A and B are shown apart, each in its own frame.
Chain A
Amino acid sequence: MTTILAKSRVLDLANERGQLCAQVLADLGADVIKIEPPGGSRARKLGPFYNDEQSPESSLFFWAYNRDKRGVTLDIEREEARELLKRLIKSADFFIESEQPGYLAERGLGYDQLSKLNPRLIYISITPFGQNGPKMSYADADLVILAAGGPLALTGDDDRPPVRLGAVPQAYLHASMDAAVAAMAANHERVRSGLGQHIDVSAQQSVAMAAQSYILSPALNSAEVTRYAGGVKLGPFCIPLVWPAKDGYISLAVLFGSALGPFTRRLMEYICERGFCDQATRDKDWIGYVELLFSGTETIEEWTRVTEVVRNFTRSHTKAELLKLALERGFLIAPVWTVKEVVESPQLAARNYFQEVEHPEHGRSFRYPGPFVKFGATPIEYRRRPPRVGEHNREVYRTELGLNETEVAELERRGVI
Chain B
Amino acid sequence: MANELALSDVKILDFMWVMAGPAATRILADYGATVLRIESPTRVDVARTLHPHHDNQSAPDSSGLFSNCNAGKLGLSLDLGNPAAREVVHDLVRWAEVVTESFSPKAMRRWGFDYESLKKVKPDIIMLSTCLFGQTGPLSSIAGFGSMAAAISGFHNLTGWQDRAPCGLFGAYTDYVSPRYTALAILAAVQHRRQTGEGQYIDQSQAEAATHFLGPAILDFSANGRIQERMENADLQYAPHGVYRAQGDDRWVAIVCKTDDEWRALCSLMKRNDLVNNARFVTAAGRLQHRDELDGAVGEWTAVLAPEEAERLLQSRGIAAHQVQNAIECYHDPQLLHRGHFVDVEHPTYGKTTVEGPRAVLSRTPAKVMRHAPMLGEHNEHILKDILGYDDEKVATLAASGVLG
Contacts and interface: CB of A to CB of B under 8 A. Distances in A.
B216 A242 contact: no
B216 A48 contact: yes
Contacts of A399: none
A408 interface: no
A216 B339 contact: no
A147 B324 contact: yes
The dominant DSSP class at the A interface is mixed
Interface string B81-98: 000000000000000000
B107 interface: no
Interface string A122-148: 000000011111111011111111111
Contacts of A35: none
Interface stretch (B234-242, B384-392, B393-401): B234-242
A38 interface: no
A229 B164 CA distance: 9
Contacts of B167: 155-157, 163, 227, 229-230, 242
A177 to B, nearest CB: 4
20 contacts: A129-B335, A142-B256, A162-B243, A163-B161, A168-B217, A170-B213, A181-B359, A185-B32, A189-B7, A208-B341, A212-B170, A216-B356, A217-B327, A220-B52, A242-B156, A332-B145, A339-B218, A339-B228, A342-B152, A372-B181
A26 B68 CA distance: 30
Contact of B200 (A160, A211, A377): A377
Interface in B173-225: 173, 175-177, 180-185, 187-192, 194-195, 198-205, 207-209, 211-224
B267 interface: no
A300 interface: no
A37 B327 CA distance: 39
Interface stretch (B41-49, B72-80, B272-280, B375-383): B41-49
Contacts of A10: none
Nearest to B219: A60
Contacts of B19: 212
A188 B187 contact: yes
B27 A181 contact: yes
B121 interface: no
Interface string B313-346: 0010011111111111011011110110110000
Interface stretch (A86-94, A277-285, A361-369): A361-369
Nearest to A346: B138
B402 interface: no
Interface in B221-279: 221-224, 226-233, 235-238, 241-245, 250, 252-256, 258, 262
A328 B303 CA distance: 51
B110 interface: no
Interface string B350-364: 000111110111111
A144 B256 contact: yes
B153 interface: yes
B11 to A, nearest CB: 13
B133 interface: yes
A52 to B, nearest CB: 7
A155 B53 contact: no
Given A181-B180, A214-B51, A347-B133, A143 B159 contact: no
Contacts of A370: 208
Nearest to A47: B236
Contacts of A20: 212
B320 A144 contact: yes
Given A170-B213, A174-B176, A376 B156 contact: no
A200 B340 CA distance: 13
B123 interface: no
A85 interface: no
Given A143-B254, A155-B159, A174-B177, A224 B327 contact: yes
B233 A143 contact: yes
A264 interface: no
Nearest to B326: A153
Contacts of A130: 335, 339, 361
Contacts, number: 561
Given A186-B362, A222-B53, A339-B227, 15 more contacts: A51-B223, A157-B160, A173-B213, A187-B191, A216-B65, A220-B52, A225-B51, A241-B147, A290-B58, A291-B58, A330-B143, A346-B138, A347-B207, A368-B215, A374-B204
A361 B50 CA distance: 52
Interface residues of A, number: 159
Contacts of A63: 216, 219
B202 A373 contact: yes
A199 B360 contact: yes
- Which 4 pairs across A and B sit closest by C-beta, in order of nearness? A64-B215, A251-B151, A334-B148, A222-B52
Interface residues on B, range: 35 or more
Given A167-B230, A174-B176, A337 B152 contact: yes
B379 to A, nearest CB: 23
Given A47-B236, A130-B339, A138-B322, A211 B171 contact: yes
Contacts of B67: 216
A109 interface: no
Most A Cβ at <10 Å: residue of B19, B133, B165, B212: B212
Contact of B3 (A177, A193, A201, A346): A193
Contact of B211 (A28, A216, A253, A369): A369
B137 interface: yes
Contact of B158 (A166, A202, A212): A166
Contacts of B233: 143, 161, 163-164
A214 B170 CA distance: 11
A230 B166 contact: yes
A309 interface: no
A241 B362 contact: no
B156 A375 contact: no
A184 B342 CA distance: 24
A105 interface: no
Contacts of A295: none
A162 B363 contact: no
Contacts of A154: 170-171, 326
B236 A208 contact: no
Contact of B360 (A139, A182, A335): A182
B10 interface: yes
Contact of A144 (B149, B205, B208, B254): B254
Contacts of B204: 372-374
B144 interface: yes
A333 interface: yes
A406 interface: no
B6 to A, nearest CB: 4
A351 B205 contact: yes
A81 interface: no
B139 interface: yes
